[in-house]
Amino acid sequence: MKYDGLLSTFPSEIKIFIAAFVVILSIGFYTGLLFVNETSESSLVGIEENYLGNEADEDAEIMKFKKSERQMLTIVHTHILSMSLVFFLLGILVWLTKLPKRVKLFLTVEPFVSVVLTFGGIYLLWNGMLWMKYVVVFSGMLMTLTFSISTIIIFYQLTQNKNLQ
């Protein structure tokens, strides 16, 4: 068999391996989104309270305190490192799909920009730049959208059987 470097031409065993990886990666990614929803209620106020606390709100159901610098550096450090690896590995798979180069370039570079904007934005929000919460929400949504589109494309092309004889 001849392989042209595209996912659709890979042997079925490799396709199963890649599909298993993308499924587990997606479970981890979307579980992280559930955690974000749990800690911030996926709202602008919730994001702000999660990092800056809500001690001034005497009626708050759950009391939250401003995160320490050590906590913030840990959050930013671990997320930027882990998300860059997630998107690097996913990006390799996107480059193995049959798509226009510009689409591949967007789907593989945009998540890195969003990672920096999201987690850098969280750090700047914590430092008092309250308007960064809008950047955090927008970049987080764009990161999720590109992750979802990339995984759908990968799964679709894994199901194609284009083995060349």
Q: How confident is the model at residue 62 (pLDDT cuts 50, 70, 90)?
A: confident
Q: Phi and psi dihedrals of 43, rounded to 5?
A: -130, 160
Lowest mean pLDDT among 4-8, 86-90, 91-95, 147-151: 4-8
Contact 9, 162 (CB under 8 A): yes
Pairwise CA distance, residues 74 & 31, whole Å: 19
The answer on pLDDT for 131 being more than 90 is yes
The answer on pLDDT for 1 being more than 60 is no
Report the predicted TM-score, pTM, of the whole model to 2 decimal places.
0.90
More confident residue, 1 or 99: 99
More confident residue, 124 or 64: 124
Alpha helices in the chain (DSSP H): 12-40, 44-52, 69-95, 101-126, 132-159
DSSP 67-93: PPHHHHHHHHHHHHHHHHHHHHHHHHH
Contacting residues for 155 by C-beta, under 8 A, at least 6 apart: 19, 22
The answer on pLDDT for 165 being more than 50 is no
Pairwise CA distance, residues 108 & 127, whole Å: 30
On the 0-12 / 13-18 / 19+ scale of CB atoms within 10 A, 124 is: middle
The answer on pLDDT for 54 being more than 90 is no
The answer on pLDDT for 162 being more than 80 is no
Pairwise CA distance, residues 1 & 13, whole Å: 14
Lowest mean pLDDT among 57-66, 107-116, 144-153: 57-66
Per-residue pLDDT at 161? 79
Residue 143 identity (one-letter amino acid): M
